[in-house]
Amino acid sequence: MKHIRNFCIIAHIDHGKSTLADRLLEFTKTITQRESQAQLLDNMDLERERGITIKSHAIQMNYILDGQEYVLNLIDTPGHVDFSYEVSRSIAACEGALLIVDASQGIQAQTISNLYLALEHDLEIIPILNKMDLPGAMPEEVKDQIIDLIGCKREEIIPASGKTGLGIEAILQAIIDRVPAPVGDPEAPLQALIFDSVFNSFRGIIAYYKVVNGEIKKGDKVKFINTEKEYLADEVGVLKLNMFPKTVVKTGDVGYIISGIKEAREVKVGDTITNVARPSMDAIQGFEEVKPMVFAGIYPVDTDEFEELREAMHKLQLNDASIVFEPESSAALGFGFRCGFLGMLHMEIIQERLEREFDMTVITTVPNVSYVAMTTRGEEIIVNNPSDLPDPSKMEYVEEPFIKANIITKAEFVGPVMSLCIQKRGIIVNQSYLTADRVELVFEIPMGEIVFDFYDKLKTISKGYASFDYHQIGYRKSDLVRLDILLNGEHVDALSSLIHRANSYDFGKRICEKLRELIPRQQFEIAIQASIGAKVIARENVRALRKDVTAKCYGGDISRKRKLLEKQKKGKKRMRQVGNVEIPQTAFMAVLKLD
């Protein structure tokens, strides 16, 4: 135990965490250069394509320093806010953290929020100034920022580059010298903290844990304290490049367990494993049920494919326990599912996986957050779909989730950032200068206002010099109304949204204009109306189509005509007929496209 070091890497997105991790793995010969495809740890295809770490992973390195062999467990953490609970669990399994800061970018919002998480768990922080090879690196300036932030000594900051390999040896030395060995009682009953799990189609769910006290042996009967389920430890071991089976994983070490679990739902990140024969009564603290934040309807384009979609969703849920879904029906879209996601990125990933892995073509409706409505009869209703909002006459009030948003930007962008936040119904609670040129702004904002395009807008108005991070701070009463859309007088339930009363007129007008652009002209005129209750507040028309689309090809060559028709057919793939109007997928997402 004395020679084990458990550490994670925390960084703002794109500051070079995965690249640096690869260099550490190469240097310790955990992987050979040949095995080191770019960003080895990101082994899901989607992760590699998007260049982000979606799930945390762990890997063990062996390193000899001054004749002593050390076991270094690196726990990789995801960098995106959608997955922040996983970051917090990974951090809880470590004694130290490498805090990576891009020398050309300086400290960003997630550097700070992840740092706070690490400090909450009393982790030893090793500051690293990465990307020193970049011409735009500003080492002295960024060092000042780091010193201000964590109060370390200048010489404690390690200059590094994941690209050239600068600083790698110094980092390993610092991990051994500065990160404390795990503490724990080898004689005590087993307590192992689950910080991640993965789905393997052959072996079922593989859970990753850190043994906090006691030990876990192959063949043990174990129990997961929060779910109260018992399993046989078919295989335990440590994580190298591949799984490395062992007969026992001891106190302080990081390992995996395979026990025939088939569904991701049964393994909850943050849960504690104990031994059935000699149980610990206490779970390790900090366990939370992960709650979805964003909801949207997912419908098969082809109504016959509902059962296939159900099967695909179930399969996805087997390896991603954070998706929830239940059947719903929409007058406009037929049968589908209301699905809950951790955030917008998570939603996009699920949609993409449905298409790639299950070959499903789906229509997704506008995402919304989860509201709470209090009825006049004193019932509390959770509203995950705007259509479920009770009639105003039967409702006392509605509450919406709020977040605390942390934004770091340059002083010159404070004005525009503030106006954006205020436009999104934000309330500023703090403003502080980190340096003469860098400002941290703290806002409380309704979550519904930021889930869509907030981050994009923030990036645009700050020319990319703003970083953003948030956490939920609970529900508050709001004056929300349901805005409905009618097409030729017919209410399209999938286009309803909840909106603050003060913004509803402007919003109604803009959404009608946007729909007019997105709904293609058809054989007849289409009236687009926005209404609140029975009152129509905006209207636009899509004029009738006069000419045949192929008309301009008359006399032209036939192949061109066929191509045009085919193109049209493809475009139609994601269309839905509502009443007599055909609505394209893009229209269901119109809200996201408002300027």
Ligand X SMILES: Nc1nc2c(ncn2[C@@H]2O[C@H](COP(=O)(O)OP(=O)(O)OP(=O)(O)O)[C@@H](O)[C@H]2O)c(=O)[nH]1
Give the annotated binding-site residues. Answer: 14-19, 130-133
Give φ, ψ of 67 to 5 degrees: 80, -5
Between the two ends of the chain, the Cα-to-Cα distance in Å is 57
Query: What is the C-alpha to C-alpha distance for residues 499 and 444, in angstroms, rounded to an integer?
Result: 17
Binder of ligand X out of 162, 167, 255, 297 (CB under 6 A): 162
By CB under 6 A, residue 18 contacts ligand X: yes
Of 17 and 425, which CB lies nearer to ligand X in the complex structure?
17
Q: Shortest Cβ distance from residue 460 to ligand X (Å)?
A: 21
Out of 13, 44, 65, 442, name the contact with ligand X by CB under 6 A.
Answer: 13
- H, E, C per residue of 265-303: HHCCCCCEEEECCCCCCCCCCCCCCCCCCEEEEEEECCH
The single-letter code of the amino acid at 146 is I
In the complex with ligand X, the residue whose CB is nearer, 466 or 538, is 466
Q: Does residue 301 contact residue 573 with C-beta atoms inside 8 Å?
A: yes
Question: Which residue stretches of 277-370 are H helix?
Answer: 306-319, 344-358
- Least CB distance to ligand X at residue 48 (A): 10
- In the numeric block, which tokens belong to residue 178? 């500065």
Residues 178-237 that bind ligand X (CB under 6 A): none
How many whole angstroms separate alpha carbon 250 and alpha carbon 191? 11
Q: Is residue 55 within the footprint of ligand X (CB under 6 A)?
A: no
Q: Which of these ranges, 155-163, 302-310, 318-326, 364-372, lies near ligand X under the rule CB under 6 A? A: 155-163
Closest-approach residue to ligand X (CB): 79
Q: If binding is defined by CB under 6 A, does position 139 make contact with ligand X? A: no
Stretch that binds ligand X, among 157-165, 249-257, 371-379, 558-566 (CB under 6 A): 157-165
Rule CB under 6 A: is residue 317 a binding residue for ligand X? no
Question: Residues for the chain: how many in total?
Answer: 595
- Closest CB to ligand X among 5 and 131? 131
Our finding on whether 16 is near ligand X (CB under 6 A) is yes
* CB nearer ligand X, residue 80 or residue 353: 80
Q: Residue 192 and residue 576: Cα distance in Å, rounded?
A: 50
Burial class (CB in 10 A: 0-12, 13-18, 19+), 447: buried
Q: Which of residues 20-49 bind ligand X (CB under 6 A)?
A: 39
If one asks whether residue 133 binds ligand X (CB under 6 A), the answer comes out as: yes
How far is 97 from 102, CA to CA, in rounded Å?
16
Q: With binding defined as CB under 6 A, does residue 161 bind ligand X?
A: yes
365 counts as binding ligand X under rule CB under 6 A: no
Question: Does residue 15 bind ligand X (CB under 6 A)?
Answer: yes
Q: Please identify, using beta-carbon distances, which residue of 83 and 413 lies nearer to ligand X.
A: 83
Instruction: Answer whether 271's CB lies under 8 Å from 194's CB.
Output: yes
Nearer to ligand X, 162 or 340 (CB): 162
Asked whether the beta carbons of 477 and 402 are under 8 A apart, the reply is no
Which is closer to ligand X, CB of 57 or CB of 338?
A: 57
Joined tokens for residue 486: 């009618």
Contact status, residue 272 vs residue 260, Cβ threshold 8 Å: no
Name which of 82 and 271 has its Cβ closer to ligand X.
Answer: 82
Binding site as annotated, residues for GTP: 14-19, 130-133
Cβ proximity to ligand X, 130 vs 478, nearer residue: 130
d(CA 286, CA 88): 9
- Residue of 4, 5, 7, 19 interacting with ligand X (CB under 6 A): 19
Q: List the one residue from 4, 8, 10, 11 that touches ligand X (CB under 6 A).
A: 11
The three-class DSSP label of residue 377 is coil
Strand arrangement of the beta sheet that strand 124-130 belongs to: 57-65, 68-76, 4-11, 96-102, 124-130, 158-159
Q: Is 111 in the site for ligand X (CB under 6 A)?
A: no
Token duo for residue 388: 């479920």
3-state class (DSSP) for residue 197? strand
CB of 136 to ligand X, least distance (A): 9
- What are 511's two structure tokens? 């959404």
In the stretch 60-99, what mask flags binding to ligand X with x, by CB under 6 A? -------------------x--------------------
Q: How far apart are CA 371 and CA 446, in angstroms?
A: 11
Q: Does 259 bind ligand X (CB under 6 A)?
A: no
Closest-CA residue to 204 (of 282, 361, 318, 127): 318
Q: How far is the CB of 41 from ligand X (least distance, A)?
A: 8
Q: Is 116 exposed, middle or buried (0-12, 13-18, 19+ CB in 10 A)?
A: exposed
Stretch that binds ligand X, among 25-33, 126-134, 312-320, 354-362 (CB under 6 A): 126-134
Nearer to ligand X, 99 or 485 (CB): 99
Binding residue count for ligand X, defined by CB under 6 A = 20
115 binds ligand X (CB under 6 A): no
Determine which residue in the list 53, 114, 478, 496 makes contact with ligand X, applying CB under 6 A. Answer: 53
Contact 197, 208 (CB under 8 A): yes
Site of interaction with ligand X (CB under 6 A): 11, 13-19, 39, 51-53, 79, 130-131, 133-134, 161-163
